[in-house]
Each structure stands twice: as C-alpha cells, then as structure tokens.
Structure 1
Amino acid sequence: MGFVEELKTGNFSLYGQWCALLSGVLLIVLGVVTLIAHPIYSILAIVFGAICILIEIPFLLKLCPTGPSFDRAFGGLKNHWWRFVAYLVFAIIMWSSLAKGGGILAIGAVTVTIAAACYLVAAVKKQSKVTISMLGGSGVQSHHGFDTTNALPI
C-alpha cells in the first residue's frame, strides 16, 4: 500500500505516524541549523527528533542496544494516549522556544502538535494501531478487502 492509499484510510494512527516522522526529521535538521543561536532548545529539538524517529520506526530500536530503563520509559508509547502525551510535551517545549527567539523551531513545534492531535483523535476514536507499510509496518487492509499484512512476497 502506498502513501496515497494510506491517506485515504481515515486511520489517524497512520496520520500521526507520518507527522511524527516528519517532525523527527525537521526537529533534527532545525536543531542543527539553530545550534549556535539557541543551544538549549536546539539540543532538545535534536533529542526529541531522535526519539520521534525511534518511537515510530520500531525496527531501529531493534538495531540499537537498549537497557531496561529505556524499555520501561519508551515501551509504553505503543498506546495512542501515551504517544499523544509524549508529543504534546515535546510540542509545548518547542513552542516555548518562541519566547527565547527560536522562531524557526516553531516549524518543528507545528508538526509535533499535529502528530499529537492525530494520536489524540486516534485514541478518542479507539482506532487500532496501524503502522506505515512502507517501513515494514502492518499496513491496512487493501481496497479488495484482503488483509495483506501476512501475505507471502511474490
């Protein structure tokens, strides 16, 4: 299933994952760009961006050696509510960078806020956790009604 088909599903879990991945990339890039001007918020942006990417691409967590404390801290983020709370905290901190003149970091704050909103909607609607199929996720049912998540590769 491609990007366009995933957008048509109406599953806010997918929308949240796309926004969170975009946020992760933007936060890392913007954090590096503003490192000299706003070192504290830039470092936070880089850390938040890395966390967003690690949360949303579970395959990366398998590559990184993690300890029990990391697993306890981030293991619960499989739930829509916990992801909403985590991204909301990231967004609030990034929005607070505006008070210190970190204007360009607001772009990352906007995308993290959208990701948090998507996960909130997914949680309120009690939508199932679905991950982006392009990244090896579970995907969603195809338009033919068949579940292609366990299909054999052709």
Structure 2
Amino acid sequence: MAFVEELRTGNFSLYGQWLALLSGVLLIVLGSVTFLAHVIFSILAIIFGVVCIIIEIPLLMKLFPTGPAFDRAFGGLKNHWWRFVAYLVFAIVMWASLAKGGGILAIGAVTVTMAAGCYLIAAVKKQSKITTTMLGGTGVQSHYFDTRNAVPV
C-alpha cells in the first residue's frame, strides 16, 4: 500500500508513527547540531530520537533480540496510551530546553508534541494499532481488502 493511501485511512496511530519517526530523525540531527551549546538537552534529544526510531520501526524490533528488561521497559509502548505518555514526557523535556536557550530543539519538541497528540486521539477513538508496511509493519490492507479473496470490501 502506498504512503498516500495509508494517510487516507484516518487512523491516528499511523499518523503518530510517521510523526514520531520524523521526530526521531529531527531530535538526533538537532541534538547533534546543538551538542556543544546545550550538552544535557542535546544528549537527551539524541536518546529520545533513538528511542522513537526503535519503538516505531517494527522491523528493528524483529531484527534485534530483546531481553526481559527491555520488554518490561518498552513492552507497554504497544498501547496508544503508553506511547502518548512517553512522547508527552519527551515533548515536555524538549520544551523545557527552551528555558535554557535551546531554541532550535523546539522543532523536535513540536513534532514530538504532534506525535503525542495523534496517539492521544487514537487512544480516545479506540483505533486499532496500525503500522506502515513501508517499514515492516502490519499496514492497513486488512481494512480495505478481504484477505480470503483479495476483493475490495
């Protein structure tokens, strides 16, 4: 399924996944760029970015074996509410960086806030967890096609 078709589904968990991936990349890049000026917030931004990417790409979770400690720490993030809370915490920390002069890190704060908002909407609407097929996820095909006959529903 193409990217545009996935965006037409109206499933906010899919939107949250894309925004969280964008946030992960931005946090890593912006954390690297501002490293010398804002060491603590830059390190946190890089850590948050890596966590966003690991959480949101299902293929990475399949490639790298995890232990029980990792599963306890991040296993709950399969739920929309837990992802909302995690990204909200990331956003609060990144917004706090503005108080210390980390202006450009606000870009990452905005995207993480938007990802948290999407997961909140998905949780409130009780939408099913859907991940993009482009990154090894479940995709949205099951909502549009009868898998027994591959005929549009």
User: Do Structure 1 and Structure 2 share a fold, with TM-score over 0.5?
Assistant: yes
Q: Which residue of 1 aligns with 2:145?
A: 146
What are the equivalent positions in structure 2 for 1:2-151 lying under 5 Å apart?
Answer: 2-141=2-141, 145-147=144-146
* Contact 2:59-2:137 at 8 Å conserved across structures: no
Please give the alpha-carbon distance, in whole angstroms, between the structure 2 residues aligned to 1:65 and 1:14. Answer: 24
Identity of aligned residues (%): 82
Letter in 1 for 2:73: A
* Contact 2:13-2:130 at 8 Å conserved across structures: yes
Please give the alpha-carbon distance, in whole angstroms, between the structure 1 residues aligned to 2:66 and 2:145. Answer: 36
Q: Which runs of 5+ in 1 are unaligned?
A: none
Q: Could you say what the CA RMSD is over the residues aligned between the two structures, in angstroms?
A: 1.5
Letter in 2 for 1:121: I
3-state SS, counterpart of residue 128 of structure 2: coil
Please give the alpha-carbon distance, in whole angstroms, between the structure 1 residues aligned to 2:142 and 2:76. Answer: 29
Q: Which runs of 5+ in 2 are unaligned?
A: none
Please give the alpha-carbon distance, in whole angstroms, between the structure 2 residues aligned to 1:104 and 1:79. Answer: 30
Aligned residue-pair number: 148
* Contact 1:140-1:147 at 8 Å conserved across structures: no
3-state SS, counterpart of residue 9 of structure 1: coil
3-state SS, counterpart of residue 104 of structure 2: helix
Structure 1 stretches of 4+ moved >4 Å:
none
* Range with bigger deviation, 100-109 or 59-68: 59-68
* Contact 2:58-2:135 at 8 Å conserved across structures: no
